[in-house]
Chain A
Amino acid sequence: MIGPEEGVMQSRAQAMAAILELMTDQPLIVCNGFPSREACKLRDRDQNFYMIGSMGATAGIGLGLALARPGKTVVVFDGDGNVLMSLGTLATIGALKPKNLIHVVFDNEVYGTTGNQPTYSRVVGLDKMAKAAGYLNVERVWEREDIVYEFKSMLGEEGPSFLLVKVNEQLEEADRIALAPAELTKRFKGSVS
């Protein structure tokens, strides 16, 4: 998909892989549905917390973790449907301004896990909402090199940061998360302590 402004749009898995490659020991919260499955397939690590339910809660969990562990940079992998479900959390993050939070939103403009029903992110700019809410660094990217450049910058900047990654609707074939939820809790909690 090539447009004059949009450049080459990645699949979410491609975009996710580009960011995962840049991560070292940062804790990562991944939203429910295919994003969690894709992240698990691409680069499973103890510091990954995969949500299987509680849609809308991703950024809230990341925020709580960022407040509890100010010395660690917390990364959130979110989706447009998830963000739209809890828009209030943009305000909470924008107001509290945790310096150590990077909120990455893979925006495919659909509820991809349930059959590509359109979301409102096609017409409502989530990056503009994040900016208005008070996030300090806000970027919208399409291409791999921009994804890498902006995420690297955000790792070195004081947040909260919001990276809106416009992706296509393609899903990566990926199994459900094999670890039981309670095991994920133990594994993740152990990795951040």
Chain B
Amino acid sequence: MLEADDFVKGLQGIGFDFFTGVPDTILGGIIAHLTEERLYTPAVREDEAVAMAAGAYLGGKIPAVLMQNSGLGNALNVLASLNLIYQIPCLLLVSWRGFEGKDAPEHLVMGETMTKLLDTVRIPHRTLSGETIVEDLQWTAKTFMEKRIPVALLLKKGIVKTIQP
């Protein structure tokens, strides 16, 4: 399992320097580390986080937004009617709750349909794994720079160390 600080170093290594989002347990370790390093600006909703990231990008930052996949629903309009048409990129670091149907009921529909939803709105995505982390980050940087649209890295439980709630 990846240490949260190593993962954050990897993201910083490819340029990310503005982090915002809404918490999830899978993301807890990453957020704790980002907060400790004073790199994280909490948002109250995922669409607000995406909007803040857009403003930060316009100001010269390379932004990442952390969210649970339920939050993709909240963020969808900003992604569709701001980021995708204005070519304002960000990294969406999305926790994959409801993966393979093993989660609480509220996560099952989004857990099953998230990748199709991302495909439908044409947001490139990739599922992070410990073995392919280097390639995953290279892909993220390349897609972000070339397409200038949001790219999603999906994070299943047990890939990056988290904290006990």
Contact = CB atoms under 8 A, between A and B. Distances in A.
Asked whether A and B interact, the reply is yes
Given A53-B81, A92-B43, A185-B88, A65 B48 contact: no
A96 B55 CA distance: 15
A91 B44 contact: yes
Contacts, number: 117
B56 interface: yes
Contact of B60 (A29, A49, A193): A193
- Chain A's interface size range is 35 or more
Contact of B56 (A52, A64, A193): A64
Contacts of A96: 41
Given A86-B47, A86-B48, A92-B48, A54 B81 contact: yes
B56 A181 contact: no
**Which applies to chain B's interface (DSSP): helix, strand, loop or mixed?**
helix
A89 B74 CA distance: 14
Closest 5 CB pairs of A and B: A64-B55, A53-B81, A60-B51, A68-B59, A64-B52
Contacts of B52: 60-61, 63-64, 67, 92
B86 A192 contact: no
B49 to A, nearest CB: 8
12 contacts: A51-B82, A53-B81, A54-B78, A55-B77, A57-B82, A58-B51, A60-B52, A63-B55, A64-B20, A64-B54, A64-B57, A88-B44
Interface string B117-132: 0000000000000000
